[in-house]
Amino acid sequence: MTSKGLEGVVATQSSISSIIDDQLTYVGYKIDDLAENSSFEEVVYLLWNLKLPTKAELDEFKDDLAVNMNIPDAVIDHLHSYDLSSVHPMAALRSAVSILGLYDEEADVMDEAANKRKAIRLQAKIATIVAAFARIRNGQEPVKPKKDLSFAANFLYMLNGEDPKDVEEEAINKALILHADHELNASTFTARVCVATLSDIYSGITAAIGALKGPLHGGANERVMKMLTEIGEEENAIPYIKEKIANKEKIMGMGHRVYENGDPRAKHLRRMSKELTKITGQPKWYNMSVKIEDYIKEEKGLPANVDFYSASVYHSLGIDHDLFTPIFAISRVSGWLAHILEQYDNNRLIRPRAEYVGPNTQEYVAIENR
């Protein structure tokens, strides 16, 4: 029996995150507690070490990240080399991470300590790459990270060239926590399949970025904002959605393979969206989103997923819409790395079977007789 899209198939064991009865936990800690009380750095430490850090451990981990945030000049040169008017930042990120691997002398060193060092370097540098690309395409110089800022604040600082306000830092910190890991989602599975061949970490993360980019996965958040922008005003929301449904089009940011009664991350982003759109004086993005969420729930029984309200949150922070999925990647790289380390730790090649449904035995016909 095949399961289309591997629905319901349990493909591995993992100690990193779980989704049981619509509840998401990281190493047994409820996502709600982490989102309300934690820092992104603390969550990354948790995912990689399967325990919360002490104050001293967290300070050391933050320092480790901070000193590794700069990226090689070769990567900056590479970012300058595209047709900046047309390259999508997720494509740029995918290529830049691959190139980063060329400048890591330990890229193919496979022992556990080297893999942990590479994980820190990758986590530290990914936000710098995204921010540098965003500035370069605007004709601006990349901004170097500051050692005394949090990971979330540093990303906004490198993006905008000025220290973020507290409310902005808090929003990005919470969004990063909420997106950090999610059991065996498509991009994490991709990363695990890749490194289960005993390929290197950079290959695994490059493959995962490719999988996250798609609109059925992380690419949905950018498309949610495209939809909200097309709708334009609150009163257009329901007629717009009705037409989409009549045309059998999917509503981005709605539905989920695993959650039946709702994605527990969405309520946090919904709250942030309400607060931030009020601060910016543009509550229409939140109001419109609520109308769509209620309508789709009522009509199709589908809940909003993590990508739905993150769109209006990032928009309210003044972030370019095509950077929404790269922000997802900046966070999710922590989960990918946790899963890659776990895969190496207890590896077996991942190689499922396909049920053959093509034609049965055929006689070979010489090319001149076809």
Ligand X SMILES: CC(=O)SCCNC(=O)CCNC(=O)[C@H](O)C(C)(C)COP(=O)(O)OP(=O)(O)OC[C@H]1O[C@@H](n2cnc3c(N)ncnc32)[C@H](O)[C@@H]1OP(=O)(O)O
Ligand Y SMILES: O=C([O-])CC(=O)C(=O)O
Determine which one of 256, 320, 321, 322 is catalytic.
Answer: 256
Residue 193, CA distances (Å) to 104, 151, 159 in order: 22, 29, 33
Alpha helices (H) in 138-265, listed in sequence order: 151-160, 166-179, 186-195, 201-212, 220-231, 237-246
By a kind-dependent CB cut-off of 5 to 8 A, residue 28 interacts, out of ligand Y, ligand X, none, with none
- Of residues 194 and 306, the one with the C-beta less far from ligand Y: 306
Residue number, nearest CB to ligand Y: 185
- Which residues inside 289-318 make contact with ligand X, applying CB under 6 A? 300, 302, 305-307
List the x/- string, 132-171, binding to ligand Y by CB under 6 A. ----------------------------------------
Q: Are 209 and 97 in contact (CB under 8 A)?
A: yes
- Which residues inside 280-319 make contact with ligand Y, applying CB under 6 A? 305-306
Does 185 bind ligand Y (CB under 6 A)? Our answer is yes
Per CB under 6 A, which region of 34-42, 125-133, 200-208, 251-259 contacts ligand X?
Answer: 251-259
- Of residues 72 and 215, the one with the C-beta less far from ligand X: 215
Does 335 bind ligand X (CB under 6 A)? Our answer is no
Q: Pull the structure tokens for residue 150.
A: 């949090």
**Active-site residue, 307 included:** yes
Alpha helices (H) in the chain, listed in sequence order: 31-37, 40-49, 55-67, 73-80, 89-102, 112-137, 151-160, 166-179, 186-195, 201-212, 220-231, 237-246, 266-279, 284-300, 306-316, 324-345
**Active-site residue, 315 included:** no
Q: Within 13 Å, how many C-alpha atoms sit on residue 91's CB side?
A: 7
SS3 143: coil
Size, binding site for ligand X by CB under 6 A: 18
Does 182 bind ligand Y (CB under 6 A)? Our answer is yes
Q: Within 13 Å, how many C-alpha atoms sit on residue 27's CB side?
A: 18
Give the Cα separation of 299 and 238 in Å (integer). 11
- Of residues 182 and 223, the one with the C-beta less far from ligand Y: 182
> What are the residue numbers of the active site?
256, 307
Binding site for ligand Y (CB under 6 A): 182, 185, 257-258, 305-306
Binding site for ligand X (CB under 6 A): 5, 216-218, 220, 250-257, 300, 302, 305-307
